[in-house]
Structure 1
């Protein structure tokens, strides 16, 4: 089994990597609700208050420290969010036991950052809305003419993350994704022709752009220009290696579950018989 790596070549260059022979049945690894069993987030606010359970919370700017971090912790996923910019840091798979775990039970940081470039603007003048439901989280905040929204699911696989900027001026927002470790890298999957990230075992993921244009790509970082109302999503597991045609052109109320969900052929041998 060979993958085309971006590590030493430009996007599209051919570098064959010999990978370990991990072969699993696609039915056993389908990104179903079992990937989310027992999942659920807590959010620790900058003042130390912990939010959990099914609830909606609205916080005034005076209740949030400037550039304070929201600590999001789930059974399967953890990350930090800068309340001023909605930049996401240290997006991590915890390695918690699950039949669809791709980490081998090892805590694995995937991204050091998923960071929107807001220039000198912040969201500090706006209220922060936090909605927690079973296994899911939604964060919303507005500052001036800019709105940001993050949706996340606490699952071992599937379409589990989405960042959506909306600028009333119509301007696009640049978002940078930086992988956390050389052991996880972007590569061109020769079986689908699409850019995945993953490791030499079975961990597979994909940036999921919607009305977004890739500006640059290396083996460790992608930079995207995201249209107002577009999104940058994150997909893990089988959904990431299906031979899909990409997301629809949605620029309003786009949902994290707007994904393929096992409906197309899987051609990556690491995820098929």
Structure 2
């Protein structure tokens, strides 16, 4: 176990490292976005249909981002920003590979059907099924925002393990600006820093963000829905707080993470302002989910991120072999039926969901 970092020291770092400017969320971030893949494109006219699956990896090409898909598993490789000019550009007009891979373990099952494809302007949805398993990739071709998600489903309702690996130069860190404000309630509906909580008055919790060397404006984070990250104890530093706030940063590597995702849950990604706003954990959603699709009615606080990111808050080492032998997380079946969890269920992002009233 790496040495535990003190809350006071981390708070001081957060105060000294000035926040990088963050642009407000805007549809302008998607202007000019469009996709092409498997010989199909989507402009003003929607394409919706089935196409034959290729024998090898295929590229999903946007104007702002691109990535490769393994048709047998729907693993994602080389998710990168292209550096296209846009008011929301986070790359400094440079090609920037952030994710080397996002790989689901289907435990021997493969996807075998034709590929279902839907494209319209900046939105794409790609699905494929197999023997007892299906996968859907949804993405938006935008400079930033809630722009990607992976949704596994299994006939046996067990979870799917997904391993994220960052590309060279990308790194995960404990955001010191969030840490220096831990416990405060922030947002347009707050009457004080002590709360009470409201839809647009949310308590600040620890936040792990992703940055990239040489890209001071680049910021994003994983956005999990009905999913649980697995601990990797040799990674850290481990932070702690005396405020009773859950979801603390610990056992977290700098360049990888392992997630168990419920059948019908999702592993999403939010970038830019969306990744540094003080928001509540995602709603429990197992159908037609997308990061940022359920915004608060008021205005959420945006805390930003440090520029540069202090070395003390970067999570290390980059990789670890630990965590893979942990048994699959078992999610309550009542999640799918009622949008709640029973007493035996896991916490989601450090928050226990409301108990179900069983019929």
| Counterpart for residue 74 of structure 1 | 62
Q: Deviations over 1:189-228 (max 9, x none)?
A: 1223111111361211000000000013310001100001
Structure 1's 94 and 19: CA in aligned 2 closer, same or farther, altered over 3 A?
farther
Give the match's secondary structure for 1:267.
coil
**1:128 partnered with 2:143:** no
More strand by share: 1
Structure 1 position 144, deviation (Å): 1.4
Q: Distance in 1 between matches of 2:151 and 2:16?
A: 35
| Counterpart for residue 171 of structure 2 | 185
RMSD, aligned CA: 2.6
Q: Deviations over 1:233-254 (max 9, x none)?
A: 0110000001112211111222
Give the match's secondary structure for 1:34.
helix
Structure 1 outlier segments of 4+, above 2 Å: 8-24, 63-66, 255-263, 268-271
| Counterpart for residue 32 of structure 1 | 26
Give the match's secondary structure for 1:65.
coil
**1:267 partnered with 2:282:** no
Bigger radius of gyration = 2
Structure 1's 80 and 20: CA in aligned 2 closer, same or farther, altered over 3 A?
farther
Structure 1 position 266, deviation (Å): 0.9
Check conservation: 2:273, 2:304, Cα contact below 8 A: no
Correspondence for 1:64 among 53, 62, 84: 53
| Counterpart for residue 183 of structure 2 | none
Structure 1's 12 and 135: CA in aligned 2 closer, same or farther, altered over 3 A?
farther
Give the match's secondary structure for 2:54.
coil
* TM superposition score normalised by structure 1: 0.84
| Counterpart for residue 151 of structure 1 | 138
* TM superposition score normalised by structure 2: 0.64
Check conservation: 1:22, 1:202, Cα contact below 8 A: no
Check conservation: 1:11, 1:188, Cα contact below 8 A: no
| Unaligned stretches of 5+ residues in structure 1 | 1-7
